[in-house]
Amino acid sequence: MPARTYRQVDTHIIEHLIGIAGAANVLLSAEDMEPYTHDEVVGFSADPEVVVRATSTSQVSDILKLAQREKVPVTPRGAGYGLSGGAVPVYGGIVLSLQKMNRILEIDKKNLMVTTEPGVIVGDLHRAVEEEGLFYPPDPASLDSCTIGGNVAEGAGGPRAVKYGVTKDYVSGLEAVLPSGEIVHCGGKLVKNVTGYDLIQLLVGSEGTLAVVTEIILRLIPLPKVQVDLLIPYDDFQAAADTVSDIIAHRIVPTAIEFMERDSVLAVERLLDKDVPHDDAEAHLLIQLDGNRQDAVDVDMELVGELALKHGARDVLVAKDQRTRDRLWETRRMIIDALNDESPVNHMEDVVAPRAELPSLLKGVKDIASRHSVRIVCFGHAGDGNVHVNVLKDRIPDVRWSDLVPVVREEIYRLTLSLGGTITAEHGIGATRRQYLHLALDEAQIDLMRHIKDVFDPHHILNPGKIFP
Ligand SMILES: Cc1cc2nc3c(=O)[nH]c(=O)nc-3n(C[C@H](O)[C@H](O)[C@H](O)COP(=O)(O)OP(=O)(O)OC[C@H]3O[C@@H](n4cnc5c(N)ncnc54)[C@H](O)[C@@H]3O)c2cc1C
């Protein structure tokens, strides 16, 4: 996308913004705006000219009308927990925070739907619906920090994708504000809806480039009554992968099948100063099963255990109570923090391949690591083929590191594509992957997407510098 020029935010625009959102919700000092300069991508930031914290849909609409009239860029933002620079205001302008729109508006038990504002923290949403015996399955590892609006904008996934799918599978209605300021309502509390093009699915995963999401209706399901988690250590990743294939071939679909490489487990142990059983194993699988009847879940658990041991697992550790389960999942959830602690400069990829290609993907990544003499640690979602590949700088000199990262990235992408995969499964293209979009999509598809962007946002005021090369 050619570089665009935008109008600078001046006192006239600031006065208007204060008129819309109130002085307390308009941040101007460098200190107040610092948290809005970056997301969770290491070493990537840009300064906004002003931050506005909206508290209602009509404020969002007025802000966008002003921005479009004055040709000022607007970057929507949830919690800033993204991993692709999506909420970073690369063209300056206005950062539009949705964090204060954080009310759960209705839990509708008759229709099994929840209506929520976008700034609600995903973990809070989980707890609120679970108190009613209901379940919203998508569970990004960042769930206690990120917002549901950010999840919708990124099309977020999580470990439970294996059995329950991802965010897009649960959105049945959206209120969104177009860059013109017009407010649109798509869908509703509907299980079925084929009325015209599916604008909901277009907006889900559009990374804040087409519209600002201000209200979300999500489908719920009954909360499973029984849950069990297994931690299974292996001396060989291939054996772990074979277990996964065998479990699926036996028509058991676990809630989650996560894998953790030895280096990722060791990093968490060092960070938390806690022992993980069999920490010298090459790989761990973390498998969750759920259902409504203890005896049925127990039958599946026994079979999963047998299959794991048949494929050479060292042990099968079972967690049935919440405290033990939390301990197992803490290891998985803390990996990103632990790797950041280990090597504060690092680079993370989020590739996905067909599940059966996982061993080839991991082997190929290890070959890339040894060819370039760099440490690469992998973990992720063995159940759905999504691998988080972490390239660690460790003590590599700065100059070599900046030359190395683009080369390693491109090799990882080409390897994944050659296996029938793609370059991001859940973290999005954002600002940090856009120069590689052409590797994954052909020109015709990128052109179609550009046209869609032009229709929604002819002046490109909404989240410019994202997705498109
Ligand atoms: C430790 C860690 C673990 C993670 N684990 C996972 C995981 O398991 N699965 C996963 O999918 N992701 C994961 N992520 C990535 C991240 O949490 C998700 O992308 C999440 O959806 C970001 O939400 P957020 O509220 O922080 O959004 P932000 O980072 O603030 O924004 C993300 C994007 O959404 C846009 N946006 C935000 N709100 C709106 C809105 N209301 N309307 C329109 N656009 C909007 C922004 O412009 C930006 O492009 C992880 C991140 C971390 C740091």
362 alpha carbon to ligand 1 midpoint, in Å? 26
**pLDDT at position 385:** 93
Strand 256-261 and strand 113-116: the pairing is: unpaired
174 strand-pairing partners: 186, 216
> Ligand 1 pocket test: which of 38, 83, 467 has the largest number of ligand atoms within 8 Å of its C-beta?
83
**pLDDT at position 1:** 47
Atom of ligand 1 nearest to the CA of 207: 49
Encoded tokens for 29: 């000092």
Atom of ligand 1 nearest to the CA of 166: 11
196 alpha carbon to ligand 1 midpoint, in Å? 28
**pLDDT at position 320:** 80
461 alpha carbon to ligand 1 midpoint, in Å? 20
pLDDT averaged per 10 residues in sequence order, the chain, 469 residues: 81 98 98 98 96 98 98 98 98 98 98 98 98 97 96 97 97 98 98 97 98 98 96 94 92 95 95 93 96 96 97 94 88 93 94 93 96 96 93 96 97 98 98 97 98 98 97
Output the residue whose Cα is nearest ligand 1's atom 28: 80
252 alpha carbon to ligand 1 midpoint, in Å? 30
382 alpha carbon to ligand 1 midpoint, in Å? 21
Residue 307: Cβ within 10 Å count: 21
**pLDDT at position 278:** 94
Whether residue 435 contacts residue 360, with contact meaning beta carbons closer than 8 Å, is answered with: no
Distances (CA, A) of 468 to 236, 238, 288, 448, 461: 40, 37, 37, 11, 14
39 alpha carbon to ligand 1 midpoint, in Å? 9
Whether this prediction's pTM lies above 0.85 is answered by yes
User: Which of 269, 281, 294 is CA-nearest to residue 232?
Assistant: 281
| Residue 104: Cβ-neighbour burial (10 angstroms; 0-12, 13-18, 19+) | middle
Q: If you compute the radius of gyration of the chain from its CA atoms, what whole number of angstroms results? A: 23
143 alpha carbon to ligand 1 midpoint, in Å? 10
Reduced to 3 states (helix: H, G, I; strand: E, B; else coil), residue 461 is coil
**pLDDT at position 321:** 86
> Ligand 1 pocket test: which of 146, 268, 339 has the largest number of ligand atoms within 8 Å of its C-beta?
146
**Pocket around ligand 1: residues whose beta carbon is below 6 Å from it?**
39-40, 75-83, 86-87, 98, 118, 140-142, 146-147, 149-151, 153-154, 156-158, 207-208, 212-213, 336, 426-427, 430, 463
